[in-house]
Amino acid sequence: MGARTAWVLHVDLDQFVAAVEVLRRPELAGRPVVVGGRGDPTERGVVSTASYEARAAGVRSGMPLRVAARRLPDAVFLPVDAAEYDAVSDRVMATLRTLGAVVEVLGWDEAFLGAVTDDPEALARRAQEAVLAATGLHCSVGIGDNKVRAKIATEHGKPAGVFRLTAENWSAVMGDRPTIDLWGVGTKVSRRLAGLGVTTVRELAAAPVDALVAEFGPRMGVWYHELGQGLGPTTVDDRPWVPRGHGRETTFQENLTTPEQVRRAVRELTDRVVEDVAEDGRPVVRVALKVRYAPFVTTGASRRLAEPTRDPDALVAAVMALADRVEDREVRLLGVRAEMAMPEDAGPAERTPVRGRI
């Protein structure tokens, strides 16, 4: 046993949505399960999640259901049941709160735990055992000296394992790995880093800050430099999660082919978002419109409002102004989002707007 130290643990439910479905249908255990849309791979829709068996065949979240069906025709396709996932997630988080740690909920299937202990592995195993007993679900736990390292450690513990990643072993574990293995670095960012000659985590840690700032801006440039070193926040916050906004989107089974159809669909989505905003009670500071043209080109634009507002007419007018910029092309998906003032009033106003020709 070592000295009592402040630790951050990241708890991540293994293949959460697929696992919930298998619990309801035990006969599916060991079979490739794909959850998405209405569960019909002949319809337009995307994969929400896939079981490990389906992932082994190359099925990934965000993949069109039709592509998943071609890749894995014998998979079991199921519809998304958000209400059930909410209920199971609530039981998981309630269970984690019994462990004597601070619990910061990140979503349906993951949370940070903050605790002072001399044996974080023991706490991790207690979390796994408690969640399994309460829900029948397995989870992986990453242990770190900050949130970044704990989050990344979880990937090394999957499935159903425990892994510790700290300043001591950061370079040995992560140094030679590609930058895309870092939390918060996706395909586009990793490509931009490669353009700077940065392909590994070690190279990112050693990259000149000025070069990163020139490429990504003063905030994100510094963030990526620190990310390469595994630096990150250490405080686990148990305050209830507050969404930055509300959004609605629809994939159409048949493409929209006229401006009138597009405007009507945008208005319907906007009306639903306005209802969500009204229930939330916070003023909106920005609206955004997402458009996916046929066959599969996605773009979007946003508009910061002149002043925060709850006025439905003002919100509708702002979104419809964005709809006026939609190109005269066939549309297969539309999405409307409203970003709201945060309780601390520091979030949406500082976010970088989405730009692009729609």
Residues 6+ apart with CB under 8 A from 189: 179, 216, 224
> Is there a cis peptide before residue 32, judged by omega within 30 degrees of 0?
no
**Domain match, 48 and 10 both:** no
Task: Give yes or no: residues 123 and 67 share one domain.
Answer: no
Catalytic residue among 110, 275, 307, 344: 110
Q: Can you give the residue range of the structural domain that contains 10? A: 5-16+83-165
Number of domain units in the chain: 4
110 part of the active site: yes
Q: Are residues 249 and 269 in the same domain?
A: yes
Question: Do 274 and 295 lie in a common domain?
Answer: yes
Give the E-state strand segments of the chain in sequence order.
Answer: 5-13, 33-35, 49-50, 76-78, 102-107, 110-117, 139-144, 162-165, 245-256, 284-293, 297-309, 331-340
CATH label of the domain that carries residue 63: 3.40.1170.60
Residue where one domain finishes, among candidates 55, 81, 107: 81
CA distance 105 to 89: 10
295 and 313 housed in the same domain: yes
Residue 356 in domain: no
Is 236 within the bounds of a domain? no
Tell me: do 89 and 210 sit in the same domain: no
Half-sphere exposure of 2 (CA within 13 A, CB side): 9
Q: 137 and 263 share a domain? A: no
Same structural domain for residues 159 and 207? no
For the beta carbon of residue 240, count every other beta carbon within 10 angstroms. 7
| Same domain assignment for residues 63 and 90 | no
The domain boundary residue, chosen from 81, 112, 132: 81
| Distance, C-alpha 162 to centroid of its chain | 22
Provide the edge-to-edge strand list for the sheet that holds 76-78: 49-50, 33-35, 76-78
- Judge if 102 and 118 occupy the same domain: yes
What is d(CA 149, CA 142) in angstroms, rounded to the nearest whole number? 8
Cα angle, residue 66 at apex, residues 64 and 67 outer, rounded to 5°: 70
274: CATH: 3.30.1490.100
Q: Is residue 257, in this structure, part of any structural domain at all? A: yes
Q: Indicate the pTM of the whole model.
A: 0.80
**Does some domain include residue 183?**
yes
Q: What is the pLDDT along the chain (358 residues), one digit of tens a residue?
A: 456 899 999 999 999 999 999 999 999 999 999 999 999 999 988 899 999 999 999 999 989 999 999 999 999 999 999 999 999 999 999 999 999 999 999 989 999 999 999 999 999 999 999 999 999 999 999 999 999 999 999 999 999 999 999 999 999 999 999 999 999 999 999 999 999 999 999 999 999 999 999 999 999 999 999 999 999 999 999 988 788 899 999 999 999 999 999 999 999 999 999 999 999 889 999 999 999 999 889 999 999 999 999 999 999 999 999 999 999 999 999 999 999 998 765 433 333 333 333 4
Contact predicate 123/115, CB 8 Å: yes
Answer yes or no: do 217 and 336 share one domain: no
H or E segment to which residue 163 belongs: strand 162-165
Distance CA 136, CA 124 (A): 17
Q: Quick one: 9 and 107 in the same domain?
A: yes
- Domain boundary among the residues 56, 81, 106 is at 81
Closest C-alpha among 187, 189, 227, 191 to residue 207: 227
Query: Is 233 part of a structural domain of the chain?
Result: no
| DSSP assignment string, 89-143 | HHHHHHHHGGGSSEEEEEETTEEEEEEEES-HHHHHHHHHHHHHHHHS--EEEEE
